[in-house]
């Protein structure tokens, strides 16, 4: 009896819900209830319920910085931002130059030592002695490279922190132009950059490029016009930060900066092999360019490659698991 009673209550409850639903739908069909008004009421109820029971969102540093940078790059302070990035780039390039010089001297010294060792091979020295010297040379190179890598990483970290703090401070300062120290820097810094441009212009030259532009019209009745630009150049020239900072280069950086935090992104497709690393070929050249460039918006290249590696491994495991499942199903 209890079981039958529970079943009866459940069935009648479902019928009651169905009856109420049909009446509500009929009211909307007949126009008795306005669908827009009903949707607004649902939206209000949903919003209030969600706010009541959900946890408040914590402030997101990346999103806040993106909004601040987007505002500044579309303001008169845009040139100041590019100039500051350029000054940071000069510091990084100088440190890289010191590293390359020191590594070159070490390799030259080790080359002379190895030549002397090879001349004594079979006389006073054996193969084991040669291997020992080679191991010492390799260890010395690793120690020196690690030392410079640490210094570069520290400098990049300091620059990124200083840059982000400066951007936020500038944004706050521009909201209150009165008693503004940073607003004066907006006027001063470009002239300072022009001096460095003049001195370094003769030291750095762009590679020669060949380019040609076309205008084509597509469509039979409603024609659309497209501008095509064919360019023969080194692909990595589009990624390099030019030290001479001429107007064309500066406009290119401004163009990419304006659309950095937007839905209109642009990018470069670099053809490489299927190994996720930066050890050889154009991948190594690209990694070197990334190390030289001043970027405060994206993770380091190696960090991005590590993420891609994890995603690829996960996708591969999922495909293998799916293939085994299908084999077992058909088997």
Domain assignment present for 321? no
Range of the domain at 26: 17-54
Say if residue 235 is in the same domain as residue 283: yes
Q: How far is it, in rounded angstroms, from Cα 243 to Cα 94?
A: 11
Domain assignment present for 74? yes
Say if residue 25 is in the same domain as residue 44: yes
Say if residue 91 is in the same domain as residue 33: no
**Residue 247 and residue 298 in contact, taking contact as beta carbons nearer than 8 Å:** no
Say if residue 31 is in the same domain as residue 168: no
Say if residue 71 is in the same domain as residue 219: yes
Q: How far is it, in rounded angstroms, from Cα 81 to Cα 189?
A: 10
Say if residue 68 is in the same domain as residue 89: yes
More confident residue, 184 or 50: 50
Instruction: Fill in the DSSP letter of residue 236.
Output: G
Condensed to tens digits (0 to 9), the pLDDT of residues 143-156 reads 999 999 899 889 98
Say if residue 130 is in the same domain as residue 26: no
Q: Does the structure show a pLDDT above 60 at 201?
A: no
Say if residue 237 is in the same domain as residue 293: yes
Say if residue 35 is in the same domain as residue 78: no
Q: How far is it, in rounded angstroms, from Cα 211 to Cα 191?
A: 32
Domain assignment present for 317? no
Domain assignment present for 305? no
Local confidence band at 307 (pLDDT 50, 70, 90 cut-offs): very high
The mean pLDDT value for 252-268 works out to 81
Sign, CA torsion 114/116/119/121: negative
Domain assignment present for 79? yes
Instruction: Write the CA distances from 134 to 89, 110, 113, 243, integer angstroms.
Output: 36, 9, 10, 38
What is the pLDDT, as a whole number, of residue 137? 93
How many domains in the chain?
Answer: 2
Domain assignment present for 103? yes
Say if residue 40 is in the same domain as residue 87: no
Say if residue 48 is in the same domain as residue 120: no
What is the pLDDT, as a whole number, of residue 191? 41
pLDDT, mean over the chain? 81
**pTM of the full structure:** 0.63
Domain assignment present for 49? yes
């Amino acid at each position: 009896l209890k079981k039958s009673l529970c079943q009866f209550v459940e069935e009648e409850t479902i019928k009651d819900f169905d009856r109420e639903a049909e009446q509500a739908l009929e009211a909307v069909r007949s126009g008795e209830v306005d669908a827009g008004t009903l949707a607004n009421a649902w939206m209000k109820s949903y919003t209030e319920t969600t706010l009541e029971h959900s946890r408040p969102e914590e402030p997101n540093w990346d999103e806040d910085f993106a909004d601040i940078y987007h505002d500044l790059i579309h303001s008169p302070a845009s040139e100041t931002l590019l100039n500051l990035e350029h000054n940071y780039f000069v510091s990084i390039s100088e440190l890289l130059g010191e590293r390359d010089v020191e590594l070159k001297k070490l390799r030259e010294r080790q080359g002379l030592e190895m030549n002397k060792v090879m001349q004594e091979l079979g006389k006073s020295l054996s193969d084991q002695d040669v291997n020992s010297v080679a191991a010492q040379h390799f260890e010395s190179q690793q120690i020196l490279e690690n030392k410079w890598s640490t210094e570069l990483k520290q400098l990049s970290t300091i620059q990124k922190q200083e840059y982000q703090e400066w951007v936020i401070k500038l944004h706050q300062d521009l909201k209150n132009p009165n008693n503004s120290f940073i607003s004066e820097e907006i006027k001063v810094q470009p002239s300072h950059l022009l001096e460095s441009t003049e001195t370094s212009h003769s030291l750095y030259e762009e590679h020669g490029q060949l380019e040609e532009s076309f205008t084509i019209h597509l469509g039979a009745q409603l024609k659309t016009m497209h501008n095509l630009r064919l360019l023969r150049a080194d692909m990595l020239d589009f990624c390099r930060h030019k030290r001479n900072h001429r107007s064309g280069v500066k406009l290119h950086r401004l163009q990419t900066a304006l659309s950095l935090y937007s839905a209109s992104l642009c990018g470069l497709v670099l053809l490489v092999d299927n190994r996720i690393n930066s050890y050889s070929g154009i991948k190594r050249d690209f990694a070197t360019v990334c190390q030289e460039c001043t970027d405060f918006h994206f993770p380091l290249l190696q960090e991005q490659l590590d993420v891609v590696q994890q995603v690829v491994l996960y996708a591969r495991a999922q495909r293998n698991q799916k293939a085994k499942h299908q084999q077992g199903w058909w088997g």
